[in-house]
Amino acid sequence: MTVPAKMKAAVVTKPGEMKIMQVDVPAVGPNDVLVKVKATGICGTDISIYTGKYSADKLPLIPGHEFSGVIAAAGENVKGFAVGDAVTADINMSCDGCFYCSRGRKLMCPQFHQLGIHVHGSYAEYVKAPAAQLHRIPKGMSFEHAAFIEPLSCSIHAFKATDITIGSSVVIIGAGGLGIMHTQVAKLRGAAPIILVSRNQKRNEIAVKMGAVDFLIDPTKVDAVAEVRKLTGGRGADYVIESVGTPETYGQAFRMVRPGGSIAAFGITEGDATIPVNTFDLVLSELTVTGSCAGVGTDWQDAIALLQYGRINPDPLFSLKVPLEELEDALKLLMTDKNIMKIFVCPELTERVVMA
């Protein structure tokens, strides 16, 4: 595979400004590979980078972290992977030697950084990744499914933190792509019933069609907390997964969980958001709250297995495929039209493709 010197990339130059530019193809170190990008899923984090809410100190930056592609070049020390291999990469990088890394908690590493969030990512024709981060894409898996491994790994990570058991009641607040994925993973975990709380009708329809939702609660029509209690013998749910990211919905999570139950904090709020928690209840109810920030390590292998063997089919979430030049429009579309779900950016594409 011949690699050119320059490539097309979408660069966030300052908050609210994105430019399609010709930039140098990243130089590959001895332990890195260069991946020719096939697909990148747009994530809420990309919107936060574009608007300046996140990673503003890293600009100019090429975002993009839910990606798949084909190895175009490999450094001299790279073993086990070769040019032409279809891959994705765990975006979470750390020092591997500190207190946290040695305990398998790389997300807490002082040197923790993510590809496409803190260093250049995949909204470009090529992206550089350390070979140690690579995962092979199974034969027959589409590049869109492969680009979905990253977000699915985040859902799986949250479930491992909560340790949801068979037959337990689970409430998921929020029907974003990941909220809907949580319903799917909850079903695989054996949860019953699975209750989804969401106000978006189109997303609710998709979630129900995907077959893992037992009860749907529209909080604009009913008192969601009262409804959850009604569905769980008056107790509240065994587990509540907050997947919206507002103080209001976090407050609801505390009122929906039963004594002795567990809340999974997943939705990302504003950086300074807080909620009042009744500490008396917290102690007497023996509540558990688990935070969960990203899928790492084996979460990626688990996500690959679920997609490879058809345990999860995310196709109903896939709205559009667009060329790199349309990324900024796609970001704006996602900010204004909540009926659009996952959009993929494909550098080799010349025009927009409607997927669902």
* 95/289 with CB nearer Zn ion: 95
Interface with Zn ion by CB under 5 A: which range of 105-113, 118-126, 221-229, 240-248?
105-113
In whole angstroms, the minimum distance from the beta carbon of 111 to Zn ion comes to: 6
47 binds Zn ion (CB under 5 A): no
* 4 prior amide bond cis, ω within 30: no
From the CB of 44, what's the least distance to Zn ion, in Å? 7
Q: What share of the chain is helix, strand, coil (3-state, %, to 5)?
A: 30, 25, 40
Least distance from Zn ion to the Cβ atom of residue 225, Å: 29
43 belongs to the binding site for Zn ion (CB under 5 A): yes
60 in Cβ contact with 12 (< 8 Å): yes
Q: Which tokens hold the place of 278?
A: 């009744």
Closest CA to 244 of 172, 316, 183: 172
Nearer to Zn ion, 88 or 232 (CB): 88
Compute the least distance from the CB of residue 151 to Zn ion, in Å: 6
Enumerate residues 323-342 that contact Zn ion by CB under 5 A: none
**C-alpha R_g of the chain:** 21
Q: Which is nearer to Zn ion, 21 or 98 (CB)?
A: 98
The residue among 34 and 154 lying less far from Zn ion, judged by its C-beta, is 154
11/43 with CB nearer Zn ion: 43
Q: Given candidates 3, 47, 95, 231, which one binds Zn ion under the rule CB under 5 A?
A: 95
Burial grade of 104 (CB within 10 A; 0-12, 13-18, 19 or more):
exposed
Could you tell me the smallest distance in angstroms from the CB atom of residue 14 to Zn ion? 22
According to CB under 5 A, which one of 94, 198, 200, 262 is a site residue for Zn ion? 94
Q: Which of 254/318 has CB closer to Zn ion?
A: 318
- Closest distance between Zn ion and the C-beta of residue 126, in Å? 20
Whether a cis peptide bond, with omega within 30° of 0, leads into 193 is yes
Near Zn ion by CB under 5 A: residue from 9, 12, 18, 45: 45
Tokens 């908050």 locate to: 15
CB of 330 vs Zn ion, minimal distance in Å: 15
Is 92 a residue that touches Zn ion (CB under 5 A)? no
- Binding string, residues 219-258; x marks residues near Zn ion by CB under 5 A: ----------------------------------------
Q: Could you tell me how many helices (H) and strands (E) the chain has, helices first?
A: 11, 18
| Contact flag: residue 293 with Zn ion (CB under 5 A) | no
Residue 40 binds Zn ion (CB under 5 A): no
Output the smallest distance, CB 181 to Zn ion, in A.
12
Q: In the chain, where does DSSP find H-type helix?
A: 44-51, 99-102, 143-147, 149-162, 177-188, 201-209, 224-231, 247-256, 279-284, 298-308, 327-336
* Class of residue 307 by CB neighbours under 10 A (exposed 0-12, middle 13-18, buried 19+): buried
Is the separation of the CB atoms in 70 and 137 below 8 Å? Answer: no
Contact 182, 265 (CB under 8 A): no
Residue 191 is a binding residue for Zn ion (CB under 5 A)? no
Residues 6+ apart with CB under 8 A from 37: 64, 67, 68, 69, 122, 124, 125, 126, 127, 347
Beta carbon nearer to Zn ion, 177 or 236: 177
Binding segment (CB under 5 A) for Zn ion, from list 21-29, 95-103, 166-174, 291-299: 95-103
Q: Which is nearer to Zn ion, 157 or 258 (CB)?
A: 157
Interface contacts to Zn ion, rule CB under 5 A: 43, 45, 94-95, 98, 101, 109
